[in-house]
Amino acid sequence: MATAIAENVEIKQIGSLKGKGLFSKTAFKKGDVIFEEKPLVSCQFAWNELYKYKACEFCMQALETAEENSRRLTENKGITLPYPECCEVKPEEHAVCPQCQIEYCSAQCRDAAWAQYHRVLCLGMSREDQDHPINRLLEAWRNIHFPPETATIMLLAKMIATVKQAEDKDAVLGMFSSFVQNTVNEEEQIVHKLLGEQFQDPMELLWRLTSEALYEEAAQQWFTPEGFKSLFALIGRNGQGIGSSSISVWVRNCEALEHSTEEKEKVEEFIDQLYEQLDQVAGMFLNVEGSGLYQLQSACNHSCVPNAEITFPHNNHTLVLVAMETIEPEQEICISYLSECSLSRSRHSRQRVLKDNYLFSCNCPKCLSQADDPDVTSEEEMDDEEEEGEEERGTGDG
Ligand SMILES: [Zn+2]
Ligand SMILES: [Zn+2]
Ligand SMILES: [Zn+2]
């Protein structure tokens, strides 16, 4: 299951509300990899999947070639991408689950999913059967949580299935309980954020359907109404957005090609036009999207002047934390939970987004130095703030 190269960092208790933080055990230079980590579980979002963003069921790598992806998203079947060798998708390596035909980027991913959770979650011949308990749960979820998506009930299903399949169930339960737990009051706020104002009924429906589909004695504390809400709040609070896109990999590789100036301009123009078409038809929904639970990353506190950033260079769910500046041994490693855009705003605006989405007040050096700034947001900020929040802690590839 999940592995992390963690010898360069350690999680330590600190006096803050969150209670812990991630600290370096060695020195890092700007650009150094601090650690690389795979999630305990990850899952594509439900609408994203329904809308045919094809992804590996295990690692979320995009399965469409850049050209297929472009054709679907622009609704233009005539598009041909130059430099097809810049696309890294390898259909010949893809594999399917022999029972349910769900797709994977490789036989390794298929086997890893089967070993961890898919034996329980495999629908076999019932994949299209809308009355199957798992499909009913998924449909109920989609009807409750519309795009832009920020979570998925299937992450929770994978957690339960992981416990069900584990030989040492207590060890797995222990790993999940190491994530930030929430107070009752925080739980209400998180569930409210995920399920809307009237969350009581949808919450109960999800609890009932999840229990019907996946009840597990060893994890019975998750199946009481209160325990279920806590579990739900846990994924809401700790879920890290993941995105992958074969188009962006193709673009990155094209831009790195050695070309004559003339050829370079031609390629750039092509890419600009492609993005224009994508923007017109698919808008902001370009990526395979989902979320995952990461043990080390979830111990990273926020700072408005972060010294590290989350990246997904492999175009799958493997998270790589990279130093943005020199980090000394024993120094706390902080990331920004805010989008780049929110991060550039006034202290008041930043605090508001952090409070709404992550339930804390930031005391980072920048916020402290601006503590005397007036509590106002500029008009421009007021305008966009309505849409704000949903996309925080985003996919990190953009
Ligand atoms: Zn995969
Ligand atoms: Zn299967
Ligand atoms: Zn701050």
Query: For residue 58, how far is its CA from the centre of ligand 1 (angstroms)?
Result: 5
SS3 content of the chain, % helix, strand, coil (to 5): 45, 15, 40
Tokens standing for residue 309: 């950033």
Question: What's the confidence (pLDDT) of residue 67?
Answer: 97
Q: In angstroms, what is the span from residue 161 Cα to ligand 2's centroid? A: 13
C-alpha 344 – ligand 2 centre gap (Å):
45
Ligand nearest to the CA of 315: 1
> What is residue 20's predicted lDDT score, i.e. its pLDDT?
84
Ligand nearest to the CA of 350: 3
pLDDT given at position 183: 83
**pLDDT at residue 301, as a whole number:** 92
Ligand nearest to the CA of 90: 1
Map out the domains of the chain as residue ranges: 41-241
Q: With both helix axes pointing from N to C terminus, report the angle between 153-165 and 133-144 in degrees, rounded to the nearest 10.
A: 150
Residue 21, helix vs strand vs coil: strand
How does DSSP classify residue 34?
E
* 3-state SS class at 333: strand
Residues ≥6 apart with Cβ < 8 Å to 263: none
Q: List the strands of the sheet with 33-37, edge to edge.
A: 33-37, 319-323, 308-311
Mean pLDDT in each 10-residue stretch from start to end of the chain (398 residues)?
66 73 95 96 96 96 97 95 96 97 98 98 94 96 91 96 97 90 84 83 95 96 93 90 95 91 92 94 90 94 95 95 96 92 90 87 91 67 47 43
Q: Which ligand is nearest to the CA of 364?
A: 3
- pLDDT tens for 112-168 read 999 999 999 999 999 999 999 999 999 999 999 988 898 999 999 999 999 999 999
193: helix, strand or coil: helix
Cα–Cα distance measured from residue 72 to residue 66, given in angstroms and rounded to the nearest whole number: 10
Per-residue model confidence (pLDDT) at position 395: 43
Nearest partner of 14 among 369, 363, 268, judged by Cα: 363
Report d(CA 214, CA 206) in Å as an integer.
Answer: 12
Q: Identify which ligand lies nearest to the alpha carbon of 126.
A: 2
168 CA distance to ligand 2 middle (Å)? 23
How confident is the model at residue 388, as a pLDDT? 43
Ligand 2 centre distance from Cα of residue 126 (Å): 10
Query: How far, in Å, is the centroid of ligand 1 from the Cα of 29?
Result: 31
The DSSP-derived string for 59-91 is T--B-S-HHHHHHHHHT-TT---S-GGG----G
- CA dist., res. 237 & res. 243, Å (int): 18
Ligand nearest 44 Cα, by number? 1
CA dist 246 and 288 (Å) reads 9
Q: How far is the CA of 202 from the centre of ligand 1 (A)?
A: 32
Q: Which among 316, 364, 372 is positioned nearest to 337, based on CA atoms?
A: 364
- Find the 320 Cα to ligand 2 centroid distance in Å: 29
Q: How far does residue 108's CA lie from ligand 3's centre (Å)?
A: 41
Pick the ligand that lies closest to the CA of residue 306: 3
